[in-house]
Structure 1
């Protein structure tokens, strides 16, 4: 009995001592003095007292973290704390890092600059780390990633690689993705949610944020063993997300379970897929030359060199396919097989469903990230009327196009009109009423079409080739009579269509991006040629030739009178016309010449630099009147067989010699000055047409060559003309003479190919990114 009493007294004594310890603890930790908390925390760590460490960490509140003097000593302990065996300590320590990152920009940058803290975070990102700790680590990365400096610091420590590795290891299959919105249910407000999986959402958010902060070089350094499986998982998510975007941008409700909400927008996900896809080399593999050649010409007996010599940019040309061609040389077979349909309305739905808008990029853009910055927040949105799709018909009596979606076409609002599921269904009704459905950018939406257009671009030495689709009902005309600023191959996929091609109204080919108002012309009195295209046939129409087409149910084929055709557009951009080649030749020559003439005095140097730009202006004047300067240069066509290439190469050399002779004999100093004066009076930039060359000059980082920056150039010109007109004319004649005598065609071809590769690289990145967003098709 007495022993029981002694034990009870001893137990009460222990409880009192513990209560005193707790009271003493409360005395310390209730104090808001960060130094006191730090001292207790440091003592607790030295004694490995997990209970006290946890208590201390819980007392570190945002008000303390906002004080730099408080956060610095605590940050110094983070690397030690994250090595603790206690999950609560590690998780709370990382939570403190995240909370401190959000206090202010100054504190955020201080944490991001602390290499030991970032290393500690990196060590936690492992598949075998407990989910609670992983969640805290991911959230800390997200909290840190609120500014550019911190994002770049995290990337330097390869935290992105760690995130991707863990994501791929843990999350094998994703089926619980949903969408949510804080306000209205338009596309731009939709954000990603994950049902009942906060960890998955944190990893997804952190990884997407860092990928979208990468420069191109850093993206290229992500190992394929990480990027490919992660991209595959992202596409799974994208397939679910894009299916959830329903009419009017609403979301499909999902009331079952708890939705974990992120602030990752649908456009952020689309950008991440675009970025990871744009440098995948095997995504779009161009078809071999022989395959495309047989696909274009079949067994017609016409060779590529014959076509270039007799028809290219000269005359329309039809290739009628045989049954053998359709069975053995149909390069569109993969595309046809991808279309699942039983009737025309179902065909329209199969083509249009799931498409996203392909925003245009600047034609002279050489940095894909500039495009991504321009479309920030919009990438991945549904197709836009007029930009991606048109639904039109032309009444033969009026000869004028009418749009089925009048509110889209003629509305006063500048806001883009996104297509919804309702609009897709309306296209079926429009078709029944005689309207043609015209869809742009098929090379961005189907890998099989991208492989064809990429091969054509290589064959014709151009950066890219476009592909549009036209579905026309029986006894109907879609577009009114018009001419294009690009050459087209009209490829009849299904059905038949009657084409009328008129003689070109001008001996000068229209330039890409020229104002084509007035191209809807009355061709009733012009001479014309008629072509009937049946399935498999291909019609070549050079740029500048007016044309129109209609379907006729009386043709007698098995198509019920409708037509589905693709146009492959060879868009000859300014640097790849012969005038552009002349400008490039002058630019490269001037660089070499300047390096040999470093001893020039200031006035002579100014006169020579200005003379180079005046000669650029002179080339532009000649190009406005001489048809040869507007034709496409094919010297960069490098995918051709040796015999074809040799024949084509000699032809290109002869054209170049002809152009240089024209520059020598027709570049006149006074004419150039007069044209520049007229441009100044109209407040125009006389050098604007060569903007692409100026961008190339800026990329090169040199101080010589062409300068299209208007104000300094005009000021120098006016000043020197007033004071030293005779000397300027002499310098101009000297520059012209030396250039024409010294320029070497082989050197120009080398430069031209290098330029083409720059353009093709950016275009390939764009196509890869867009095709990936349509990959489920």
Structure 2
């Protein structure tokens, strides 16, 4: 009996032991986690992290992370767990690292405050960025997705940039072979240009996330951050982006972008064509120095020849006074020809329509930059979501001809593009092909902004930035230049379509331009051109001419120089901010400066010299020409100051302001550029930068203190005119010019990179 009972006990123990061996302990953890709260999960994670070598600990961590990701993503529940995230991200277990990165990304989307808290943790960011070096694609995908989630806020973007996430992402991306060949464009929604997204033909979510992360961060950089990217890395990545751009742009030009279809084997990103264009533009701002200034002597010989039509004579007798023609002979056609490089670029064989198509296909719109813009990033913000779109009719291209019997331009595309349309009129492949038909019917294809599309033209335009000119470089055209309808030079963006101008009765001159000839037409001279059709002079039935013009910005007319001189002089007086506590004597001085600015504007409406472009800061001139030009510019400056001193009238200024207020006009519109120039300085001083331009209060203030204001105005005018120094003004004026030129060169570099194949 004892032996039988012992046998039963051993059997029971054996069954029990067997049961214990077959039982899965991990199911116990799963059962417990279903009911666990945040503090329990935190304790379990902390305990498991202390012994990561054991499979049970790793399994427990995975289960905890899954539970957190699925159920506990409120701020209160996830916040304690975030303290453990850096250690979890550094785990050698790929699955733990992936799930931890997913939690970081998901948590950063719960609220702005949570995003900021995660982005402020340097150890978390370092751990997340370190995952980019992991060779496993699923880890890379999780890391990139988390970076994208953090990048939804400006703070998150800047923190990632601070810890060099962009450089790491770019380096990893460059290790992917033949990536650009798998990229294509796809349409979303209605197929609007803003709905074109970048896709990858193969199912490679990691590559899509990687590219998306890089583009988002590049487009979040300021100028200093872009400059801090290692040059070799930036240039290498720019090359890759340009390959992607060329691939996608070709598809867009021929309308080959695909409709989204979930059945196809590809991954679609949220990166649009404009996002890619912006990244290329930004990387090109300082990396790609596309234009190189040409020697002045070469420009001089090419435009003015070596005879008596010298540069000095041109400035004295023709500059903004009368048209000037330099006819080139066959002997000197290629001698010092600054346009030969561009002419070679446009050489072609075959029909003219096919040539037009080859030039127009692939072009993108060059949106105009504000004349007073000194920060290229402001321009990029203005065109956000539009950069890189196809050329736009009326903005980038016009197809027109002049009907003699009508005396006006006729648009070939008038039936297709009614003038009342408010939407951008994109010039697509079918429109490009119609340009050949328009050409055969005698229309002119006018393309704006060649200096933003061709490096050779950019170099010429940059060198000619201190003069106006319209050189013709190929073929033969008959030009008619009419007399100027006003002695005043038109300001930038003035409406030149004067309804009283009669082309039939206005005096005009005829100029026949042949290949290599240069025609200069000053501002304010209406002009038109037409092509002779196989005439006796041997001209062909078509021609190509290049128009280079310098838009004279308001600060760089002599009126602008006068405003700038007054601004610099008044800044040296170190007056306090204008506020309610400012003493009357100081208010009178500040108001006097404002009134003197108005007086300068009034004088510019009667004296043509105020509207002429100032050449005092011209660069790259030989010493003899520089000395001669400097004396000439000094004499003009003295004339301007003398005019201000003798002809500025207080009552005339006061009446001008009152009339402007009654008409709801801004009498300070012409010097808004000066306000923008001083904006940051005023804010740093704690001043309200808008205060000097609160014109509603100015008339009543002047009326209340009329005698005192007039006395202060006369005293201010006298002091300024006697104390201002030409040399000091020009030194500061040159600095201002460099700011403008830097921004415009950045604009040209960015635009040319989007036309790199040209």
Could you tell me which of 43, 48, 60 is aligned with 1:44? 48
Alignment of 1:611-650 (within 5 A): 611-650=592-631
Report the counterpart of residue 492 of structure 1 in structure 2: 472
Report the counterpart of residue 3 of structure 2 in structure 1: none
Deviates more, 1:710-719 or 1:32-41: 710-719
Report the counterpart of residue 493 of structure 2 in structure 1: 513
Report the counterpart of residue 166 of structure 2 in structure 1: 160
Alignment of 1:339-488 (within 5 A): 339=346, 340-457=348-465, 459-460=466-467, 487=468
Task: Kindly indicate whether residue 552 of structure 2 is the aligned counterpart of residue 552 of structure 1.
Answer: no
Q: State the alpha-carbon separation in 2 of the partners of residues 626 and 263 from structure 1.
A: 56
Could you tell me which of 728, 737, 753 is aligned with 1:772? 753
User: What is the CA-CA distance between 1:509 and the residue it aligns to?
Assistant: 1.5
Report the counterpart of residue 542 of structure 1 in structure 2: 522
Task: Kindly indicate whether residue 700 of structure 2 is the aligned counterpart of residue 732 of structure 1.
Answer: no
Q: C-alpha deviations, 1:733-772, integer Å up to 9, x for none?
A: 1000000100000011011111111111211111111111
User: What is the CA-CA distance between 1:656 and the residue it aligns to?
Assistant: 0.6
User: What is the CA-CA distance between 1:262 and the residue it aligns to?
Assistant: 0.7
Report the counterpart of residue 701 of structure 2 in structure 1: 719
Q: C-alpha deviations, 1:363-393, integer Å up to 9, x for none?
A: 1112222211111111111111111111111
Distance change >3 Å, CA 68–CA 505, structure 1 → 2: closer
Q: C-alpha deviations, 1:306-353, integer Å up to 9, x for none?
A: 221221111111111123433232222222222244221012112111
Q: State the alpha-carbon separation in 2 of the partners of residues 345 and 554 from structure 1.
A: 18
Distance change >3 Å, CA 18–CA 668, structure 1 → 2: farther
Task: Kindly indicate whether residue 168 of structure 2 is the aligned counterpart of residue 139 of structure 1.
Answer: no
User: What is the CA-CA distance between 1:15 and the residue it aligns to?
Assistant: 6.4
Alignment of 1:174-193 (within 5 A): 174-193=180-199
Q: TM-score, structure 2 length as denominator?
A: 0.92
Could you tell me which of 97, 118, 134 is aligned with 1:90? 97
Q: State the alpha-carbon separation in 1 of the partners of residues 524 and 750 from structure 2.
A: 32
Q: Conserved in 2, the CA contact under 8 Å of 1:509 and 1:544?
A: yes
Could you tell me which of 216, 241, 252 is aligned with 1:209? 216
Could you tell me which of 322, 330, 344 is aligned with 1:337? 344
Could you tell me which of 670, 683, 686 is aligned with 1:689? 670
Q: State the alpha-carbon separation in 1 of the partners of residues 474 and 749 from structure 2.
A: 28
Deviates more, 1:670-679 or 1:229-238: 670-679
Distance change >3 Å, CA 455–CA 235, structure 1 → 2: same
Could you tell me which of 148, 152, 155 is aligned with 1:149? 155
Q: State the alpha-carbon separation in 2 of the partners of residues 80 and 509 from structure 1.
A: 70
User: What is the CA-CA distance between 1:236 and the residue it aligns to?
Assistant: 0.6
Deviates more, 1:524-533 or 1:294-303: 294-303
Deviates more, 1:368-377 or 1:524-533: 524-533
Task: Kindly indicate whether residue 543 of structure 2 is the aligned counterpart of residue 567 of structure 1.
Answer: no
Distance change >3 Å, CA 190–CA 212, structure 1 → 2: same
Q: State the alpha-carbon separation in 1 of the partners of residues 327 and 499 from structure 2.
A: 28
Q: Secondary structure at the match of 1:328?
A: coil
Q: Conserved in 2, the CA contact under 8 Å of 1:66 and 1:104?
A: no
Contiguous gaps of at least 5 residues in structure 1 = 1-5, 461-486
Report the counterpart of residue 671 of structure 1 in structure 2: 652
Q: State the alpha-carbon separation in 1 of the partners of residues 325 and 16 from structure 2.
A: 105
Distance change >3 Å, CA 554–CA 84, structure 1 → 2: closer
Distance change >3 Å, CA 556–CA 19, structure 1 → 2: farther
User: What is the CA-CA distance between 1:94 and the residue it aligns to?
Assistant: 1.5
User: What is the CA-CA distance between 1:44 and the residue it aligns to?
Assistant: 2.2
Q: Secondary structure at the match of 2:478?
A: strand
Q: State the alpha-carbon separation in 1 of the partners of residues 350 and 14 from structure 2.
A: 89
Deviates more, 1:387-396 or 1:410-419: 410-419
Q: State the alpha-carbon separation in 1 of the partners of residues 708 and 110 from structure 2.
A: 65
Report the counterpart of residue 235 of structure 2 in structure 1: 228
Q: Conserved in 2, the CA contact under 8 Å of 1:612 and 1:706?
A: no
Report the counterpart of residue 586 of structure 1 in structure 2: 566
User: What is the CA-CA distance between 1:250 and the residue it aligns to?
Assistant: 4.9
Q: Conserved in 2, the CA contact under 8 Å of 1:495 and 1:558?
A: no
Q: Secondary structure at the match of 1:261?
A: strand
Q: C-alpha deviations, 1:534-577, integer Å up to 9, x for none?
A: 01111011111222221112434665321110111122111111
Report the counterpart of residue 290 of structure 1 in structure 2: 297
Q: Conserved in 2, the CA contact under 8 Å of 1:192 and 1:265?
A: yes
Alignment of 1:77-116 (within 5 A): 77-116=84-123
Aligned Cα RMSD in Å?
Answer: 2.8
Q: State the alpha-carbon separation in 1 of the partners of residues 260 and 269 from structure 2.
A: 16
Report the counterpart of residue 135 of structure 2 in structure 1: 129
Q: TM-score, structure 1 length as denominator?
A: 0.90
Q: State the alpha-carbon separation in 2 of the partners of residues 368 and 356 from structure 1.
A: 18
Deviates more, 1:673-682 or 1:608-617: 673-682
Q: Secondary structure at the match of 2:333?
A: helix
Q: State the alpha-carbon separation in 2 of the partners of residues 292 and 53 from structure 1.
A: 76
- How many residue pairs match? The answer is 741
Report the counterpart of residue 28 of structure 2 in structure 1: 24
Contiguous gaps of at least 5 residues in structure 2 = 1-9
Q: State the alpha-carbon separation in 1 of the partners of residues 656 and 304 from structure 2.
A: 45
Task: Kindly indicate whether residue 749 of structure 2 is the aligned counterpart of residue 742 of structure 1.
Answer: no
Q: State the alpha-carbon separation in 1 of the partners of residues 216 and 577 from structure 2.
A: 50
Q: State the alpha-carbon separation in 2 of the partners of residues 84 and 434 from structure 1.
A: 72
User: What is the CA-CA distance between 1:186 and the residue it aligns to?
Assistant: 1.9
Alignment of 1:265-344 (within 5 A): 265-280=272-287, 282-339=289-346, 340-344=348-352
